[in-house]
Amino acid sequence: MRLIIVDNQTEKEQEFYPGDHLLDVLLQSSSGIHTPCGGRGTCGKCRVEILGIGHVLACQTILSTELIDRAARPLTVILPGTVRAQISTEGMLPDISLRPSVYKGMAVLAEPTIDDQRPDDERFEAATGLTIPFGLLPNLPLVLRRTDFQPSYYGLISQNGKPGRVLRFISADAPNPLGLAVDIGTTTLAAYLYDLETGQRLAADSALNPQSGYGADVISRIDRATESAEQREALRASIGRAIVDLAKNLLRDGAVGIGKSLVLDDIVHYVLTGNTTMLHLLAGLPPEAIARAPFIPVSRRLQTLTAAELGLPVAPDALCQLLPSIASYVGADITAGILACGLLDQKPETGSLLIDIGTNGELVAVGPHGAVACSTAAGPAFEGANIRCGIGGVQGAIDAVRWDGKILSYTLIGGLGHGADRQLARGICGSGLVAAVASLLDCGLIESTGRITDQSDQLPSELQERIITISGQPAIVLAPAAASANGEPIVLTQKDIRELQNAKAAIAAGITLLMSKAGLAAENVGQVHIAGGFGNYLDVQHAFRIGLLPEELRNRTRTVGNTAGMGAVLCLLNTERMEQARAVVDQVDYFELSGEKEFTELYVNAMMFPENE
Amino acid sequence: MRLIIVDNQTEKEQEFYPGDHLLDVLLQSSSGIHTPCGGRGTCGKCRVEILGIGHVLACQTILSTELIDRAARPLTVILPGTVRAQISTEGMLPDISLRPSVYKGMAVLAEPTIDDQRPDDERFEAATGLTIPFGLLPNLPLVLRRTDFQPSYYGLISQNGKPGRVLRFISADAPNPLGLAVDIGTTTLAAYLYDLETGQRLAADSALNPQSGYGADVISRIDRATESAEQREALRASIGRAIVDLAKNLLRDGAVGIGKSLVLDDIVHYVLTGNTTMLHLLAGLPPEAIARAPFIPVSRRLQTLTAAELGLPVAPDALCQLLPSIASYVGADITAGILACGLLDQKPETGSLLIDIGTNGELVAVGPHGAVACSTAAGPAFEGANIRCGIGGVQGAIDAVRWDGKILSYTLIGGLGHGADRQLARGICGSGLVAAVASLLDCGLIESTGRITDQSDQLPSELQERIITISGQPAIVLAPAAASANGEPIVLTQKDIRELQNAKAAIAAGITLLMSKAGLAAENVGQVHIAGGFGNYLDVQHAFRIGLLPEELRNRTRTVGNTAGMGAVLCLLNTERMEQARAVVDQVDYFELSGEKEFTELYVNAMMFPENE
């Protein structure tokens, strides 16, 4: 039988026999799985997820027929550090030195005498440099005297890097303080649990944003929050609960990894990022003015609060920091991305770009004239919306279309399968859409104007037959009815192509304008970072093929995954990065594309697809 | 009939007939009462208190027989600005410029446009210099847009005198912010209500500290608070309620004065002072270690909190500042006294002393070597405790004893009265004790050793007859049984005199030692301030007569009333004074008398009374 092994977006197949040890099968596939305990089931390092069953220790698991029956088909194992298709927590982390905001300490104080009558607070503060907030003073005398004046505590680093205040008094054998970085996307939450003493990542996972029930995009969320204070509170509470649920899952996962139990109270630092609307909703701030011109947020500041102040239902003394946003439509997720990509760390003569493509395309350019950012109303085409057969990045979505010069083929998320395990196509996701148009341009079914060709008689018959008419409009069949889950062919309509043209033109024009604002010529661009959930699955070569990205930037462009999450992690692990984040808003000039005259002309020019090479 | 008119510690009598207008009677007595409204009952300036009845407007009150029946006897009217005997809110205020911590403001902001997309908070902050705390952000968009971007607010001055933060958004026609200074004495609360925009005192009053039910002195309060967290909380809550009750009374009184209603929410700044134990109890801090060697407070810092943080049941956003203490037994009341007397404002070559006498005598000396403070365990003799006929400063207490060379006479609090209104003596209060011993030294009934003379046969028979024997010990009759409320003579026993000797010796020795620590010779002392409830009623000449104060300081000594309350008022009205208060703790060296070798010798030397001149 065959086992599919998913290891950070890549899939392998491995033969096995029912009754085999899962660990053995994984080791045969050279999965790089570690078993420091020698397979005794104690170290937890071989913890994997079997789709349909859940997390198991590979060394303790036999691939019995019973297990195979219970599992999802095809039998799939997801390795640790890996995430499920299309919900990505991964991204590239730059090298980072550990300087957490919260640390564990023990002070050794001189005991008071008649010649040293300093009050308890001054005695502690002189020894540690930490102030004691008023709320902790009532317990201070007991804490000092029970520990023979050797209290243990979680301490907080202040803004200038010096000791700040006590966060909590703890017992001498208390666990290491934990931190959670959370990226609150409109659709998806991604969270990362760290040990703040060792810098070790204990777990990472993602979950759907439960606010999706209140509307798919930020505007519908804003509308809902504006209906009443109760609705705003409902949205605030729902995101809070989702963060807690995700945190508890990560604590459970992390506990398996380190072999001891972890509880919510152990998390003492939360770094929260997301777009400006999501952070307004999290903080209970009215987002109404974000939605209407002139698009004004209540605040874009770095907020440093206790969980009690934020109203997050976790340890009330936990430090919660909401990363700063740049503008209503260039949020803290972009601030975090700027940090994660080191955009502002480079020499001024080296330019770089950050391109985060989702419902909106947020763009940042750094060049000789400084750092500039804008948001393009790309439309939701890249997320599969407003596309006839568009769906999200789910199992069964066409995620790639290939033209090898003879045959047009596609792949599905979860694989095509074979025989009894054959999977049917359910639709086309954003990266599939870009890949499809790129391949259809290559094979000639789509002309560079975007028109579905009316000269298909000059094409091979395999291609000719793909052109059909739906409601009087031409369309191209990607998967025939027989290969489709609902029995209808999966098609790309002329209108779908126009949607994509609009979306890609907005981004391409935005990039061109932004580079000009930053004083950045294409030849001086050092690195182009493609970020965001969609960016992560995008084939960069397809992006160039359809003109989403200017041709001149090819060879300097890489996808960088969830830079928002990675930036939040940086701020969690290093206070200096947090100070960088605080300063980003003053370093980046936001401009409103709708206020720019050149934009319309650039946009029209960018509608065309590049000619065949 | 006769009306007793009490006008700031002095009493007058005025004849009247039942049916007279009270205002007319008061005007006949030249009481200096003002009636700007001409007696129409609208200005409220003639508001007085009739004992047993309460506050009335004199212009609207007829002294009917019915009223006279309901009132306490003798019929007594207390004029505004006056306080009842022995509960003093008064003290001398130095000249003060008004620089309150909380002020009323209105900002005029530029309305947002597509070219000026600053967030609401940054827009406001740029216009006012005030930051907006997180808790006020949710209301900010509505506040700005409802006021056409011209919001009104109470603003807070920061520690460095610059704009700090918004305390509250208000309507444009909101009242002036009010402030309350409160001195929390072990026995008595004194409170002062001010308009922070005008600096006008609206009302002042005092009340008993309800914690008295938990014990009369700080040690019994500490014992009670140490029993359990519940007891500590009960003590905390009781003082909070007492402050609120007092505040409400002052608001009612103040509203009459200005002719509009005032509510608790209008008070936005509370400055709270008191001894270290009282402030611990107010703040809910365990005072246990204050009571036992080495006498360690939890904190002596200036605490700047919101009412919500402090747990004071007033407007939750009100600013509450607890003045800093100097040591466990030199509290924030002394810090306030140092400010009120300007002790640290003087040139270093001019020395001065602050002497606050109560259960303990707290002493501060400023001289060429700096400022030093100590606390003497004076014992409660000055408060009438441990004295056979000792009582507090209440109606009927002997408060002065006079020897005119022929006759020994006394006065009572509330007056001796005449005929049917004759008042009987109920005991002797602290100032009466000092006066009695001074006069008995003068007339020869007490020798300079403190012994009741056994050579009374050389004295006039009027004096000889005053020596009686009680339980085998000599005693001196101050008021005969016929003049005593309980039919027993009011006496001073040999033991009472020894108690007083111990108490005065402790203070006198403390003063001598303190002056030496401060490098202060008696001839260089500019001013000696006698403060505190007891100090206010003390006849300074009597204090010198018994050697409570060193003879060399005569002519430079004055009583200054409730300097704790006055210092709190200074801090309420002027942020610079608050900063001075913050610094006092670092400028004053506390030392523990029990640790000083010379103290015992000085103490023994100070036991004797000065010889007759």
B38: exposed, middle or buried (C-beta count within 10 Å: 0-12, 13-18, 19+)? Answer: exposed
Angle at B582 between CA B578 and CA B583, to 5 degrees: 120
At CB < 8 A and 24+ separation, what contacts does A118-127 make?
Answer: A118/B296, A119/B296, A119/B297, A119/B298, A119/B299, A119/B300, A119/B301, A120/A144, A120/B289, A120/B296, A120/B297, A120/B298, A120/B299, A121/B298, A121/B299, A121/B301, A122/B299, A122/B300, A122/B301, A123/A149, A124/A151, A124/A166
For chain A, give percent helix, strand, coil, nearest 5: 35, 25, 40
C-beta of residue B386 within 8 angstroms of C-beta of residue B501: no
Please state, in angstroms and rounded to a whole number, the distance separating the CA atoms of residues B514 and A375: 72
Q: What is the mean pLDDT of residues B166-182?
A: 97
Please state, in angstroms and rounded to a whole number, the distance separating the CA atoms of residues A298 and B30: 62
C-beta of residue A31 within 8 angstroms of C-beta of residue A37: no
Angle at B288 between CA B285 and CA B291, to 5 degrees: 125
B385: exposed, middle or buried (C-beta count within 10 Å: 0-12, 13-18, 19+)? Answer: middle
Residue B30 domain flag? yes
**Domain boundary at A78, A110, A135, which?**
A78
Please state, in angstroms and rounded to a whole number, the distance separating the CA atoms of residues A275 and A611: 36
The beta-carbon neighbor of B120 closest among A114, A120, A299 is A299
Residue A612 domain flag? no
Of residues B558, B559, B580, the one with CA closest to residue B568 = B580
- How many CB atoms lie under 10 A from the CB of residue B377? 16
CA B281 to chain centre: 18
Hunting for tokens 């400055």 — which residue is that? B271
Q: What are the DSSP calls for A222-265, one per residue?
A: HHHHHH-HHHHHHHHHHHHHHHHHHHHHHHHHHHHHHTS---GG
| Same domain membership, residue A302 and residue A183 | yes
Residue B155 domain flag? yes
Cα distance from N-terminal residue to C-terminal residue, chain B: 46
Q: Who has greater pLDDT, B584 or A209?
A: B584
CA A117 to chain centre: 54
Hunting for tokens 């104080």 — which residue is that? A109
Of residues A540, A548, A538, the one with CA closest to residue A509 = A548
Residue A536 domain flag? yes
Please state, in angstroms and rounded to a whole number, the distance separating the CA atoms of residues A26 and A382: 35
Q: What is the mean pLDDT of residues A23-44?
A: 71
A349: exposed, middle or buried (C-beta count within 10 Å: 0-12, 13-18, 19+)? Answer: exposed
Please report, to the nearest 10 degrees, the dihedral formed by the alpha carbons of residues B229, B230, B234, B235 taken in order: -30
| Same domain membership, residue A389 and residue A366 | no
- Chain B residue numbers with beta carbons less than 8 Å from the beta carbon of A300 are 119, 122
**pLDDT per residue as tens digits for the range B39-79:** 767 666 677 878 777 778 888 899 998 888 877 777 888 77
Of residues B56, B32, B53, the one with CA closest to residue B44 = B56
Please report, to the nearest 10 degrees, the dihedral formed by the alpha carbons of residues A427, A428, A429, A435 taken in order: 160
Q: What is the mean pLDDT of residues A111-125?
A: 96
Please name the residue ranges forming H helices in A447-545.
Answer: 461-464, 494-517, 532-537, 540-545
Is it the case that residue B243 has pLDDT exceeding 70? yes
- Chain B residue numbers with beta carbons less than 8 Å from the beta carbon of A142 are 286
Is it the case that residue B110 has pLDDT exceeding 60? yes
Give the H or E element holding residue B560.
Answer: strand B557-561
Token pair for A67:
């297990």
Is it the case that residue A476 has pLDDT exceeding 80? yes
Q: What are the DSSP calls for B402-456, one per residue?
A: EE-SS-EEEEETT----GGGPPPB-EE-HHHHHHHHHHHHHHTSB-TTSPBPS-G
Q: Who has greater pLDDT, B482 or B346?
A: B482
CA B315 to chain centre: 25
A330-339, B66-75, B447-456: lowest mean pLDDT where?
Answer: B66-75
Q: Who has greater pLDDT, A102 or A70?
A: A102
Contact residues for B283 (Cβ-Cβ < 8 A; gap 6+): A134, A137, B236, B303, B310, B322
| Same domain membership, residue A193 and residue A313 | yes
Structural domain containing residue B150:
102-170
Indicate the average pLDDT of chain B: 89
| Same domain membership, residue A182 and residue A309 | yes
| Same domain membership, residue A118 and residue A50 | no
Most confident option among A13-17, A127-131, B22-26:
A127-131
Please name the residue ranges forming H helices in A354-488.
Answer: 430-443, 461-464
Does the distance separating the beta carbons of B296 and A119 come in below 8 Å?
Answer: yes
SS3 A343: coil
Please state, in angstroms and rounded to a whole number, the distance separating the CA atoms of residues A261 and B480: 81
| Same domain membership, residue B318 and residue B183 | yes
Q: What is the mean pLDDT of residues B94-103?
A: 85
Mutate which of A301, A325, A374, A586 to test chain B, going by most B C-beta atoms within 10 A? A301
Angle at B181 between CA B179 and CA B182, to 5 degrees: 140
A580-584, B60-64, B332-336, B511-515: lowest mean pLDDT where?
Answer: B60-64
Token pair for A592:
């409103």
Is it the case that residue A348 has pLDDT exceeding 70? no
- Chain B residue numbers with beta carbons less than 8 Å from the beta carbon of A309 are 134-135
Does the distance separating the beta carbons of B328 and A117 come in below 8 Å?
Answer: yes
Q: Is the ipTM of this complex over 0.85?
A: no
Specify the pairing of strand B370-376 against strand A188-195: unpaired
C-beta of residue B493 within 8 angstroms of C-beta of residue B475: yes
Please report, to the nearest 10 degrees, the dihedral formed by the alpha carbons of residues B550, B555, B557, B560 taken in order: 160
Does the distance separating the beta carbons of B120 and A298 come in below 8 Å?
Answer: yes
Binning pLDDT at 50, 70 and 90, where does residue A387 land?
Answer: confident
| Same domain membership, residue B283 and residue B307 | yes
Is it the case that residue A1 has pLDDT exceeding 80? yes
SS3 A309: helix
Q: Which strands form A76-78's sheet, in the order they lie side by side?
A: A10-15, A2-7, A76-78, A47-50, A54-57
Residue B93 domain flag? no
Residue B339 domain flag? no
Binning pLDDT at 50, 70 and 90, where does residue A81 land?
Answer: low
Q: Who has greater pLDDT, B126 or A74?
A: B126
Hunting for tokens 């972009």 — which residue is that? A334
Residue B340 domain flag? no
Is it the case that residue A82 has pLDDT exceeding 80? no
Indicate the average pLDDT of chain A: 89
C-beta of residue B366 within 8 angstroms of C-beta of residue B337: no
| Same domain membership, residue B138 and residue B198 | no
- Chain A residue numbers with beta carbons less than 8 Å from the beta carbon of B116 are 294
Does the distance separating the beta carbons of A328 and B120 come in below 8 Å?
Answer: no
Q: Who has greater pLDDT, A375 or A215?
A: A375
Is it the case that residue B286 has pLDDT exceeding 80? yes
Token pair for A155:
């301490």
Of residues A338, A328, A394, A331, the one with CA closest to residue A366 = A338
Contact residues for A173 (Cβ-Cβ < 8 A; gap 6+): none
SS3 A107: coil
Binning pLDDT at 50, 70 and 90, where does residue B159 land?
Answer: confident
Residue A397 has φ and ψ, to the nearest 5°, of: -80, 140
Mutate which of B145, B298, B326 to test chain A, going by most A C-beta atoms within 10 A? B298
Token pair for A397:
């979505």
C-beta of residue B323 within 8 angstroms of C-beta of residue B332: yes
Is it the case that residue A569 has pLDDT exceeding 80? yes
| Same domain membership, residue B389 and residue B362 | no
| Same domain membership, residue B242 and residue B264 | yes
Does the distance separating the beta carbons of B298 and A140 come in below 8 Å?
Answer: yes
- Chain A residue numbers with beta carbons less than 8 Å from the beta carbon of B115 are 595
For residue B368, say if its preceding peptide bond is cis, omega within 30 degrees of 0: no
Mutate which of A120, A233, A235 to test chain B, going by most B C-beta atoms within 10 A? A120
Does the distance separating the beta carbons of A134 and B297 come in below 8 Å?
Answer: no
Q: Who has greater pLDDT, B33 or B236?
A: B236
Q: What is the mean pLDDT of residues A209-233?
A: 88
Please state, in angstroms and rounded to a whole number, the distance separating the CA atoms of residues B248 and B207: 12
Phi-psi map region of B505: left, alpha, beta (phi>0 left; psi -120 to 50 alpha): alpha
Can you list the positions of beta strands (E) in A267-387? 267-274, 303-306, 319-322, 351-357, 361-367, 370-376
User: Residue A80's pLDDT is what?
Assistant: 64
Q: How many domains does chain B have?
A: 5
Please state, in angstroms and rounded to a whole number, the distance separating the CA atoms of residues A354 and A336: 11
| Same domain membership, residue B477 and residue B576 | no
| Same domain membership, residue B468 and residue B386 | yes
Binning pLDDT at 50, 70 and 90, where does residue A525 land?
Answer: very high
Is it the case that residue A79 has pLDDT exceeding 70? yes
Please state, in angstroms and rounded to a whole number, the distance separating the CA atoms of residues A149 and B103: 43
Q: What is the mean pLDDT of residues A157-179?
A: 94
Does the distance separating the beta carbons of B288 and A141 come in below 8 Å?
Answer: yes
Q: What is the CATH number of the domain that holds A192?
A: 3.30.420.480
Which residue of chain A is at minimal alpha-carbon distance from B309? A135
Q: What is the CATH number of the domain that holds A16?
A: 3.10.20.30
Does the distance separating the beta carbons of A299 and B137 come in below 8 Å?
Answer: yes
Binning pLDDT at 50, 70 and 90, where does residue B96 land?
Answer: confident
- Chain B residue numbers with beta carbons less than 8 Å from the beta carbon of A138 are 284-286, 298
Read off the pTM.
0.83
Please state, in angstroms and rounded to a whole number, the distance separating the CA atoms of residues B28 and A393: 96
Q: Report CA Rg, chain B.
A: 27
Residue B107 domain flag? yes
Does the distance separating the beta carbons of A594 and B286 come in below 8 Å?
Answer: no
**Domain boundary at A496, A521, A554, which?**
A496
DSSP B69: H
Token pair for B123:
């827009």
Strand partners, A4: A13, A76
Most confident option among A26-30, A227-231, B213-217:
A227-231
User: Residue B87's pLDDT is what?
Assistant: 41
Q: What is the CATH number of the domain that holds B367?
A: 3.30.420.40
Residue A336 has φ and ψ, to the nearest 5°, of: -65, -40
